[in-house]
Structure 1
């Protein structure tokens, strides 16, 4: 029996509207974007490239218009557990950053 993994992605238009909450969450070429203007500038540049969404982690089956196209993984495969644990960690980390930014 196999399961399907779908990675999360960021809607660029929504990111621009909520750029303040994304400060410190985006890294480009090793530099973390720490200001609202940096985040907006980066996201606008992605829109200019014709992209609608961005991956929120590593994904080798990603479409910049529709997001993750999915990954079939065998349940017995230990790789699934590692990927799922990593995803949960990233989601918790992002949620904590958004809570801190909202304060």
Structure 2
């Protein structure tokens, strides 16, 4: 199942799983050539490795950003916010119905 029901992390994980399956199919044989393409430098396997490398780089960047946010939160520093997003302390919380 794909589409708007999957998170970005789930999509990334599926891409990595697919790339791993491609690498299993296109691994080099005893003669050093791809078992499917029968070439020395398999472009399909190279593309699958690039997908895995890119997913790992995205994951590392997300982890670093999360660690920085946590560190800033516990040290009391303000983190920069995108324009138009108010911090949670500025949001007025009230019941939707004023009768109670």
More helix by share: 2
- Higher radius of gyration, 1 or 2: 2
TM-score (norm 2): 0.34
Larger relative contact order, structure 1 or 2 (CA cutoff 8 Å, min sep 6): 1
TM-score (norm 1): 0.33
